[in-house]
Structure 1
């Protein structure tokens, strides 16, 4: 990959839509906690399963990914392609939003949690694909700049997500209606599912690369890393994992 290669904005801009979704949904989940607590008569601890079901899916998704890759004998994303993996992740998330229909009809809290878990399961695959793909869509030396921009789009979703979801769920509350039905949760998440599906189809037929070129490290860097047979042997990865763990926890 040439060091003079410029960012492919035609491919990068569609890619950052998934970054927006991650922030939008993750921050909107906090709106569901008081709604579920009242609708299902939950304790404070029980209502926090909303966050647990969502974020534990990232760990479960990563484990599934590693197991499937080990069984295949090849990295899953490299096998089916980056673009297909991204679309698959969006379809999994869309499936999760569909669970909100029977969950609302049956007034089932476990089914609601299953829906959130499935949405986040799709996100775990999307994030595995989107972050390295954002770096690959241009000069690797400016990859951090693209990730920072994508992070800004993610923060935009984090900012407006709770506002939109809260208005969609509590819109009638302004009229003094204190008997909020769990049915109110269904509509915004079904709209979100349609958005997932639309973007999945769009990305499937977009110009995003299925197997982006891999940057070849210079000879000095290659020699210094020749004995590192596992990603976990890179200290910056371990430190990064700790930093992300603390960041999400906070």
Structure 2
């Protein structure tokens, strides 16, 4: 049993990461839908952010439903029906949501569009509750956050491709500005997505994924049984706020970027897609870099891969945009900004708390540069926030569920609930933008990063008091 847990179980891990791809594809596509809906339905910046709110509030509703059903049936729902069945059920719910896009597009109904997005994300809520702790559990705990980072890297393959495919479906290859026609063209990509959800549900049902991962079973018998609820752990409670503000800053930075580029830099709506794609590709670049340790324990190989991985991910972004016939010239300079990411990744030495602190500080710097400059410098500063958000999710998630034992899936559900930050922080930034300027509104993101830096500092002490130390693996292995 122990030997099995010494290394990542790739046969089980690879089928699992397919769901991570879908979350990314849909979440990033929302940024393309926002300006289109804004024009078609004649919305304010605040109203257009209802797209983000509908999508992200569904995570909270899903988590609350999960906790309510678990409470009423006097037992953890996921532990009862199994991790694998829960994933398949989540995909089925998401598939039903994609079907709503058909009548919504035919009737030109904004509320129905929002309902479709809400239902898709409702399914994602259940998938996320299962898949995140599962990714950590499919191998040694010391590389758990790196495995989650790798899964996040696959998620960002979806976020890089999503905006380009949806943009192509809406605007076509010709630079058409007739967005009334485009609402109709939302139907096909979402129906195809629904079919893909169903295929993956069947695929996962017959895969070798465990119904209950061994790592979670083992820790159930340990000291974690002493506390009656996941909410009795301070690392989780503070981590819930951290997830709220982290998803908030990640989403609102991207979802307010199209309006900034249209208003301040006179970009056309259909020319913004590659920049949104670059923002989400930045998350992929950072996550591929942060996932290096999940592949090999050899320090010399890790050093080489730390340089290869980010530029490989950047290459994927350039390749996809080349296929979409976008001009790549504005993006080459971004290769220099990636060096900052590599240096920060090396400085963190694989410790999730230290990484969270360094990357949050860099996020603050990036936003302040974006707020105080103009032209393309500000655009690159705002897109580089993606680089510094890249590894924060796995860091926060790993720190927050450390030591929870049998309360892991309950704790995970509380964290997934806080994904609603993506909607509320976007809405807050939209409000600040309407009241001041879009550039000034990025102060909301600065405040979010400031809390994350605080959590990184605070949680280290909390975990040390519980006998959990992430620095041990640096000095000696597993």
What TM-score does the superposition give when structure 2 sets the normalisation length? 0.49
Superposed displacement of residue 126, structure 1: 0.2
Deviations 1:199-248 (A, max 9, x none): 111111111111222353499xx45x454211111111122212111111
Match for residue 259 of structure 2? none
Match for residue 432 of structure 2? none
Kept after mapping to 1: 8 A contact 2:62/2:126: yes
Call closer, same or farther: CA 1:184–1:226 in 2, change over 3 Å: closer
Deviations 1:48-88 (A, max 9, x none): 21111000001111110000011111111111111110010
Match for residue 212 of structure 2? 211
Kept after mapping to 1: 8 A contact 2:39/2:179: no
- The reply on whether 1:8 has 2:13 as its aligned counterpart is no
Match for residue 202 of structure 1? 203
- In 1, Cα distance between equivalents of 2:179 and 2:63: 41
Match for residue 158 of structure 2? 157
Structure 1 residues without counterparts, runs of 5 or longer: none
- In 2, Cα distance between equivalents of 1:182 and 1:51: 17
Match for residue 135 of structure 1? 136
Structure 2 residues without counterparts, runs of 5 or longer: 250-478
- In 2, Cα distance between equivalents of 1:244 and 1:143: 18
Comparing 128-137 with 168-177, which one deviates more in the overlay? 168-177
Call closer, same or farther: CA 1:71–1:15 in 2, change over 3 Å: same
- In 2, Cα distance between equivalents of 1:218 and 1:211: 12
- In 2, Cα distance between equivalents of 1:115 and 1:208: 29
Kept after mapping to 2: 8 A contact 1:169/1:184: yes
Matches within 5 A, 1:58-97: 58-97=59-98
What TM-score does the superposition give when structure 1 sets the normalisation length? 0.91
- The reply on whether 1:169 has 2:175 as its aligned counterpart is no
Q: Which has the higher contact order (CA 8 A, sep 6+)?
A: 1
Match for residue 45 of structure 1? 46
Aligned residues: 247
- In 1, Cα distance between equivalents of 2:117 and 2:179: 25
Match for residue 227 of structure 2? 228
Call closer, same or farther: CA 1:185–1:217 in 2, change over 3 Å: closer
Q: Which has the larger radius of gyration?
A: 2
CA RMSD, Structure 1 to Structure 2 (Å):
2.0
Call closer, same or farther: CA 1:176–1:22 in 2, change over 3 Å: closer
- In 2, Cα distance between equivalents of 1:195 and 1:169: 20
Kept after mapping to 2: 8 A contact 1:96/1:119: yes
Match for residue 106 of structure 1? 107
